[in-house]
Chains A and B, each alone.
Chain A
Amino acid sequence: MEEDAKGRFSRRQVLAASTALAAATTVAPGGARPAAAGAAPEIVGPGEVRVALRVNGQVRETLVEPRVTLLDALREKLDLTGTKKGCDHGECGACTVLVDGVRVKSCLTLAIMREGAEITTIEGLADGSRLHPMQVAFLERDAFQCGFCTPGQILSAVGLLKEGRPRSRDEIREGMSGNLCRCSAYPNIVDAVADVAEVPR
């Protein structure tokens, strides 16, 4: 993040609004962070910006415009197409990933805002060839038909269990309410999550 501007990477300082502010603010060389209170912040864009994303334990660098969502960066720049784009406005949950262990919709966050965070996608859930228990449960319970929503469902279910173990099927349904399944495999999805959460039928 602190490297010199090069290529299409632009980096400037905001000109301070008042002379008092200007006096207190010197343009930091090499894009170093201004230290003084009232100092101007770093500006990047509008062109492509080099962003280092930590995805599934690997740091991956790519160039993205600031307006690019984490979802588009994962799919288009990093070729991690397991994360699906359904609605692109936070309704469907197909793009759910974990950011620092918390489930979020990757269409509603910018790639540039998630630098330094640990991002987990469906590709990173298995331990080598050993599937994550939630993946196993979805297979065993046949918790999908077309499979488009499944990566988001599985990441959301993993996130749900990290937030606290659901105690009933109703709590699972409530906790999974941000993920739509147009094939309506909901009963089997609830079964799969209940297996891993050890919720009795």
Chain B
Amino acid sequence: MEFLRPQTWAEALAAKAELPGAVPIQGGTDVMVEINFDVRRPPALLDLTRVAELARWSAEPDGRLRVGAGVPYARVISELADRLPGLAQAARTVGSPQIRNRGTVGGNLGAASPAGDSHPPLLACGAVIEVESAARGVRAVPAEEFYLGVKRNALEPDELIKAFVTPVAGGPQYFSKVGTRNAMVIAVCSFCVALHPAERRAGTGIGSAAPVPLRALAAEEFLAAELDWAGTAPLAPALLTRFGELVGAAAAPIDDVRGTAAYRRHALSVLARRTLTWAWNDHRKAAERCA
């Protein structure tokens, strides 16, 4: 196995163009598991840890946040929790503290596991993934178009993930996940809801309950039609029930070692009702403070 050590992003892109089989490595928390157990033996590893710009985040002129693919979960939690609460909540459930010190959202995107914890909040927030190649430059891929199948994403062989760009939270966001314990758990299923009061709509993201992470589009349309954004009343039980049903129906789960399809649909409905209740209650409190 060869080992490529680019010092700059340009070098990294040149290397990926020359050796498309090279597997990028940043935190290593996913890639190393496969290497240690000989699940895969890539011809080359592309070490991105020396590319300083990947480890930075910044505000875009339009107010969105641009987060480099090499920013570890620990920094998403400590530096971005106020602006990206849904993603920060998801980051807190990733692996263990040691994993969060090294693992990155970029790695989650590269691995494209349907169970990756970053995906539901990226979908619910309307994030865009920035990918780049030496030959064709930067391409912005909306999160919902990025996931193509189990562990397959929209990257071309010569492309690398540079960053994700996402709006700063304009309302409450909640992420929730089902697992057997509180640490080192691959999600049985997960869900994120993000309220966007300025647009009078809510975004959703479902994880680990279909070949790809996905939005519950019918559930989002239902909320856009039914939520009384000006009101400060609690949500009607019938509305919550229907929302839960629509989220469960949007999933396409399988039976596997972590849970059955029926359990996942049921659990997703519960997570959907719970997270929407938390988010709406926060929204009501904020509305009352403004009134």
Using a CB–CB cutoff of 8 Å, the interface residues on chain A facing chain B are: 14-18, 21, 25, 33-34, 37-46, 49, 65-67, 69, 88-91, 93, 96, 102-105, 107-110, 112-113, 156, 159-160, 163, 174-175, 177-179
Contact = CB atoms under 8 A, between A and B. Distances in A.
B184 interface: yes
A11 to B, nearest CB: 10
Interface in B234-283: none
Contact of B96 (A21, A25, A41, A177): A177
B14 A41 contact: yes
Nearest to B102: A104
A88 B47 contact: no
A102 B102 CA distance: 9
Contacts, number: 146
B6 A41 contact: yes
10 contacts: A14-B19, A25-B14, A37-B8, A37-B10, A39-B10, A49-B3, A89-B36, A105-B29, A163-B74, A178-B96
A113 B47 contact: yes
Contact of B36 (A37, A65, A69, A179): A69
Interface of B: 1-8, 10-15, 17-19, 25, 27-29, 32-33, 35-37, 44-45, 47, 49, 74, 95-99, 101-102, 134-135, 182-184
B14 A103 contact: no
B36 A41 contact: no
Chain B binding surface, main DSSP class? mixed
Given A102-B101, A109-B28, A38 B183 contact: no
A67 B43 CA distance: 11
A31 to B, nearest CB: 11
Nearest to A152: B98
Nearest to B9: A37
Contact of B37 (A25, A44, A88, A110): A88
A64 to B, nearest CB: 10
Q: Which 4 A-B pairs have the closest CB atoms?
A: A178-B96, A177-B183, A66-B3, A41-B6
Contacts of A113: 25, 28, 47, 49
Contacts of B49: 113
A67 B14 contact: no
B32 A43 contact: no
B106 to A, nearest CB: 16
Contact of A109 (B3, B11, B32): B32
Contact of B2 (A21, A43, A69, A159): A43
Contacts of A109: 28, 32, 102
Contact of B184 (A102, A160, A178): A178
A18 B135 contact: yes
B135 A178 contact: no
A15 B74 CA distance: 37
A66 B45 contact: yes
A89 to B, nearest CB: 4
B98 A96 contact: yes
B2 A33 contact: no
B32 A41 contact: no
Max count, chain A CB within 10 A of own CB: residue among B3, B17, B184:
B3
Contacts of A103: 97-98, 101
